Structure formats: structure tokens, C-alpha cells
Structure 1
Amino acid sequence: MTRMSRMGFTFRPLDPLRDAELLHQWVTHPKAAYWMMQDAKLEDVERAYMEIAADEHHHALLGLDEEGVPAFLMEYYDPRHRELVGLYQPLPGDVGMHFLTPATEAPVHGFTRAVITAVMAHLFEDPAVQRVVVEPDVANTAVHALNETVGFVPEREIQKPEKIALLSFCTRERFFKRHSLMATAVSA
């Protein structure tokens, strides 16, 4: 099902076979180093996203621009069952999130901020979601700053099998407070 976000993006479930070539281009690009799939072959990408498609606790969506062209990747997961099991105490209403904006020849100022805002708004469309949790690499300072713009608050560093991550949270209330302030600033 496709749903419209406030930013003009729509979302559709990722099709692991149909979208594999596009995803392969995105996740193996040097800009996507923190996605940790730099050396992945097309078959590796297909397999990884087929596993996600079959997983009731992990989901992948493509964000589409106003013309319906894939513009970014979004994943969300239940941290009680994936990614963060045993690394923090999940609360009811927690959902984990990842997103990837692909490299472009001509970057658009504000695009990534619009994407993360749309991703967060999409997650909070589900009234059961009360808090979004992220765990980016501690070295990914650009995403830490971006996360802060939408309301994430870092809690602590955690050791995951593949990286040292900065565990951060954004509550529904904090996001909408921050988002309304951003919308007010843009319209002023």
C-alpha cells in the first residue's frame, strides 16, 4: 500500500527482485559506506532483502518522489526481535529505523532532511509507535547532526557485532514539537 507523507513522498514495499539492481547501485556506492554492503554482489542484495521481506519483524520500503521514482530506502524493525536485542530495554511502542538516500550527481540542498522528516512522519502515522530508536555508527557524525534536527537525543554508545553505535531516541512528542517548529520557520 502506498501512503503519502507530508513532504510529497510516497512509500511502497520494496520488491527484493524487482528493486535489487537499483538497491545494489545505492548500497555499494562509496557514499553508502555505513550501510556496510560495499562489496555486495547483486545476488547478495537480493538475498538480504528477500530475508527482510520474509521477516515479520523487519520491513523495507522505497520512498518515491512526486513522479513515483524511487528516491530513498527506509527500513524499520521491532527492536525487541531485531538489531538491538539485549542492547537496551525496549519500551512498548518502540520501533527501530534505518534510511538511505542514494548518491546523486547534483545533490539537492535539504533533500536528506526532507527524507528523514518524511520517514519519521510515516512511522508516527501508526498510533502504536511512541518512540523511534536508531543506532548509527559513532563515526557517522553527519547522520548524528541530521538525527538531532528531527528530535533524536543520544543516550549512549553500544557495541553491536558490526560496529560501535550511538543509541538515540526520538519520541512522538519531541518529533512533532520539533517538526512544527521547523514548519513554522520554513513558512515564516
Structure 2
Amino acid sequence: MTSTEYARTIAGFGTVRVDRVDPAADAPLLHRWVNEERARFWGMHGTTVEEVRDIYAHLDSLPTHHGFLVHRDDVPVALFQTYEPEADRVSECYEVQPGDIGIHLFLAPSATPEPGFTEHLLTALLDFALTARTRVVGEPDAANTKVLTRLARTGFTLGPEIVLPEIDLPEVHIPEKRARLVFYTRKTP
């Protein structure tokens, strides 16, 4: 059973709802998304449905990392992850500050791109991530210039390129990754 963590209606866009990922129920959908060629930067290309389920079951077991399925008016449109930077490999690459929260965002494939879609969705997701936080940190693949350009236009500050170290544990393997740090600080009214 999924648990809704956040919902926000944006005029002219619709209602954005953020639900916890249900690893068993959501794995087939997520598997389709992450195995498209456009998803190569997500790092799960070539996985099976069972591997996707196991990855999100492991993520769900951690108190520091969370996976969310994002809906717009009840249609799944994105995969969103948050994490505590001090409990993640990114902490080896920058000085974590109090109030930081890490994010990963994967937009679902769309047959009909919609102007303003990403901006509206990011508005809601940043609001959600910054609840009781002051700064978002992300580390998209350094070669993903399309995402880096989009984030800069949205108000993220581009930081330095880094190399995220490999993680090789019995329950998870994440290869080394060349990334670019990005930061978004809560706007004060």
C-alpha cells in the first residue's frame, strides 16, 4: 500500500502528489522507465523487474534514503528520491551543511512534451524536499548537459565536477560516477 507524503495543486497545471514507492507494485512501471535509452544516466539500464523491485525494497529499508512515485492528477509522471547527504557517498565529495537534503529526479517518458511541465513539477518537488530544510543538493551525471542546463535555468547553482566513489556492499553495488554538484537554496520571502 502506498503512502501519500505530499500533495499540492498548482494553478493551470494540476495536483502533484508524492507517494512512497511500493517496491513490489511499482517495479514493473519503474522498470519500463529506467530501461529506456534516455534513462542511461539513471544508472539502472539493463536491470530486470526483480532487480528494480529489490533496489527499491533496499532503499525503502533505509531510514536515510526514500523513493517516491510522483503523480500529476493521478497519472505517474516521475520518480523522486531524497536522501540524507551525510549518509551517502556524496558526503565524501563536498562539505555537508546542516539543513541539506539530497535529491534525484527522473521524469517519466512522454509522447507529447509540454512547455512548462518540468518547471511546475520541480516547483512542487522542491517545496516538498525543502520542508524543514534549507538547501537541496544533487549530483547529476556530468555528461548530462540537458539536465544541467535545465537545473541552472530553474535556479540551481552549478558546483564543481566530482567523482562519486564506488559502493560495493552485499546488498548494493553502485559504480563510480563522474557527476556535477548542484545546489538549490530555499528562497526567502
Q: Which residue pairs with 2:8 in the alignment? A: 5
Q: Which residue pairs with 2:39 in the alignment? A: 32
Q: Which residue pairs with 1:182 in the alignment? A: none
Deviates more, 1:147-156 or 1:44-53: 147-156
Q: Which residue pairs with 1:22 in the alignment? A: 29
Q: Does 1:156 align with 2:160?
A: yes
Is residue 76–residue 108 contact of structure 2 (8 Å, CA) maintained in 1?
no
Distance 1:27 1:61, change over 3 A: same
Q: Which residue pairs with 2:171 in the alignment? A: none
Q: How many residues align?
A: 172
Task: Point out the structure with the larger strand share.
Answer: 2
Amino acid in the other structure paired with 1:145: T
Mapping 1:1-188, distance limit 5 Å: 1-2=3-4, 3-7=6-10, 8-66=15-73, 68-124=74-130, 126-127=131-132, 129-161=133-165, 162-173=176-187
Gaps of 5+ in 2: 166-175
TM-score by length of 1: 0.86
**Shift of residue 110 of structure 1?**
2.2
TM-score by length of 2: 0.85
CA RMSD across the alignment: 1.5
Query: SS in structure 1 opposite 2:111?
Result: coil
Query: SS in structure 1 opposite 2:101?
Result: strand
Q: Which residue pairs with 2:168 in the alignment? A: none
Gaps of 5+ in 1: 178-188
Is residue 5–residue 122 contact of structure 1 (8 Å, CA) maintained in 2?
no
Regions of 4+ moved over 4 Å? none
